[in-house]
Amino acid sequence: MTDNRITFHYAPQTRAFGTRVLLEELGAPYDLHVLDIRSGDQRNPDYLSINPMGKVPAISHRGVVVTEQAAIALYLADIFPEAGLAPPVDDPRRGDYLRWMVFYGSAFEPALVDHAMKRPPLPRNNSPYADYETVVAIVNEHVKTTAPFWLGHHFSAADALWGAALLWVTSFGIFEKTPEIAAYLERVTGRPAFRKAQADEAALLTARDAAAG
Ligand SMILES: N[C@@H](CCC(=O)N[C@@H](CS)C(=O)NCC(=O)O)C(=O)O
C-alpha cells in the first residue's frame, strides 16, 4: 500500500493556514510538525535542510519536500485526485487553475506587500506584476464575475489558497473587503474544512499559551 501520509511543517497564524485548509478539504492524512517562529525554529539547521528559506509552509511526502504555498497546493491536489480539487491535465479549466495559482505568488502577494510597505512602484514595464492597481482590479473583477468559487461552480485548491489569503489581507486592512469579496469569503470560510482548520489552530494556540504560563 502506498504511504500517502504528509508531514506538514506548520506554524499558527501564518501563510501555512491555507495549506491546512486544503489538507482538511482533501481529507489527507497528515502529521503536524509545529514550528515556533517567534523563537526562531525556522532557522534551525534541521529545518533549513527542509526549507533553506526558513519559511512555512512546507510538506514532506514519500521523501519529497515541497515548499511555497502555491506549489504545495498544486502538488497535494494532484496527489489526492479523488477529492476532485484540481482540474485534470486535459480539462480546459486546467490553464485557468494554473494561471491563478502562480499569479498568487508571482503577482498578487508581491503587489500587496510592496504597496503595504509603501515601496516606490517600479516602472510598469520592469515590474513583474505591472502595477498594484492592475493586480487589484484583476482580482476584484475575477471575484465579481466568477462564482461561487474561484474556478466557477466547484470548490478547488485555488479556493483554499485564495480564500485563506483574502481573509488574511482583508483582516489586515491591506485589501478592500468589497461586498463581492465578503460574499466569496463567507462561502469559503463557512465550509467545514475551513472551520476545522480554524478551530484546530485556535486549540493549538490555547495549548501553547497555557504551556507558556
Ligand atoms: N513565499 C512563501 C512565503 C512563506 C512565508 O513568508 N512564511 C512566513 C510566515 S507567514 C514565515 O515562515 N516567516 C518566518 C520567517 O521568515 O522567519 C510561500 O508562499 O510559501
Mapped onto helix, strand or coil, the DSSP state of residue 58 is strand
Which cell numbers in the block locate residue 124? 510598469
**84 CA distance to ligand 1 middle (Å):** 28
Which cell numbers in the block locate residue 63? 521523501
**57 CA distance to ligand 1 middle (Å):** 7
- Cβ burial, residue 192 (10 Å; 0-12/13-18/19+): exposed
193 and 25 Cβ atoms separated by less than 8 Å: yes
Domain boundaries along the sequence of the chain: 6-84, 94-192
Tell me, using a 6 A CB cutoff, whether residue 51 lines ligand 1: no
pLDDT (tens digit, 9 = 90+) per residue, 172-190?
999 999 999 999 999 999 9
Query: What is the C-alpha end-to-end distance of the chain, expressed in Å?
Result: 44
Tell me, using a 6 A CB cutoff, whether residue 121 lines ligand 1: no
Which cell numbers in the block locate residue 138? 484583476
pLDDT (tens digit, 9 = 90+) per residue, 96-145?
999 999 999 999 999 999 999 999 999 999 999 999 999 999 999 999 99
Tell me, using a 6 A CB cutoff, whether residue 55 lines ligand 1: yes
CB-facing half-sphere around the CA of 29: CA atoms within 13 A? 6
Select 94-192's CATH number: 1.20.1440.120, 3.30.70.3270, 1.20.1050.10, 3.30.70.1400: 1.20.1050.10
Tell me, using a 6 A CB cutoff, whether residue 105 lines ligand 1: yes
213 pLDDT above the threshold of 90: no
Regarding the domain delimited by 6-84, which CATH topology (the fold level of the hierarchy) does it fall under? Glutaredoxin (3.40.30)
Q: Could you say which DSSP state residue 66 is in? A: E
Put simply, whether the predicted model's pTM sits higher than 0.75 gets the answer yes
